[in-house]
Amino acid sequence: MVSMGATASAVYTRSPQMEGADWCQAFECAGAAQLSELYLYVGVGLFTLALVATVLYLGQARRICDTEVSRTRTERDAYARFLRRLTGISASQMMTQVQTGGMTVANVQTADQSLKDVREAFEQTVMAVPHFTEEYDESLEVHMSIEFGDELARAVSHGTQLTPQLKQVLIQQTEYACTQRDAMLGTLDTELEDLKAATALLDTVEGELDDVTSEPLYRRSYADLHAAWERLGNLETRVKTLLTDRQQEMQSGIQFGIRRTDSGKFHDYLYQSLDVSYPVLADGANTVDRIRDVRHDLLDMLTRRV
């Protein structure tokens, strides 16, 4: 996961055209007129059977979200553990003065050990999450710089004293890291609910389309064809409503904690491993295309029955 501060048309194939001899063999060499009629009806049925599933991205999107939820929660808990350890590390008000061989020197051992304890705590909590190497694979200074800023990262990595001021800023930044991940979890939960709702609807549509195209249309009665045409029309309306609502949500931004943020950046980040940044819109649009193709075939068959 990148820093929480930084993250704030259907494809289908048609069945090959059968040559005249193949058609003749399949239908026992019917007469020319009969063969023409059979080709008309069966051809339409084969076309609808050849359409493939159009829900291509939602399953992948849900798995991505599930993984992101798990990793974000793990990171939040790691920062919470770092915060507890950080709170227990003592800070020095000033360097201790000691006498050595008649000379006064500064003893910075205690303060320096405190910074070592901070670095060790960060490595054993934040940098010890299971996915750290896979997702980040960077040094303490680089990772802390991305999360807390360059100046604070340098002070922890190369400084000689954990002052109360430095400790307080570290505590504030760690609390902010936890808050940001809580906000991300809320946003991811909302995205998952949207993905589940879209999946349920599009699965219903897929089931209906599979039922309609499970056999050649010429075998179905006029009443069945008309009922299927109506059902698919209602489902098309529902999918189009889903797409409209989703687009409006994207345009108004997404909720991230107590504020709204640009949905484009969020989706580009979350779905960077997919071919699309908006899986609901992509699969929904593909589904509408397939509904319209099948309804066109149904209407064509209905008009030929009149």
Is residue 116 in a domain? yes
Backbone angles phi, psi at 105, to 5 degrees: -125, 160
Is residue 215 in a domain? yes
Q: Does one domain contain both 63 and 81? A: no
Grouping H, G, I as helix, E, B as strand and the rest as coil, residue 254 is strand
Whole-angstrom distance between the N-terminal and C-terminal Cα of the chain?
Answer: 60
Counted domains in the chain = 2
Is residue 52 in a domain? yes
Q: Does one domain contain both 173 and 192? A: no
Is residue 152 in a domain? yes
pTM value is: 0.74
Give the integer Cα–Cα distance in Å for 26 and 40. Answer: 15
Looking at 178, 196, 211, the residue that finishes a domain is: 178
Q: Does one domain contain both 100 and 240? A: no
Q: Does one domain contain both 162 and 269? A: no
* Helix ranges (DSSP H) in the chain: 20-26, 32-50, 58-87, 109-124, 132-135, 140-148, 150-158, 164-212, 222-252, 263-270, 279-305
Helix (H), strand (E) at residue 256: strand 254-256
Is residue 287 in a domain? yes
Helix (H), strand (E) at residue 98: strand 96-100
Is residue 4 in a domain? no
Looking at 161, 178, 195, the residue that finishes a domain is: 178
Q: Does one domain contain both 50 and 197? A: yes
Looking at 178, 193, 212, the residue that finishes a domain is: 178
Torsion sign, CA atoms 60, 64, 67, 70: negative
Q: Does one domain contain both 61 and 190? A: yes
Domain region containing 109 = 77-178
Q: Does one domain contain both 132 and 273? A: no
pLDDT of the chain along its 306 residues, tens only? 545 544 542 222 222 333 333 323 332 333 333 333 333 333 333 333 334 567 889 999 999 999 999 999 999 999 999 999 999 999 876 554 544 445 444 454 444 789 999 999 999 999 999 999 999 999 999 999 999 999 999 999 999 899 999 999 999 999 999 999 999 999 999 999 999 999 999 999 999 999 998 888 888 899 999 999 999 999 999 999 999 999 998 888 887 877 777 888 899 999 999 999 999 999 999 999 999 999 999 999 999 876
Contact predicate 182/73, CB 8 Å = no
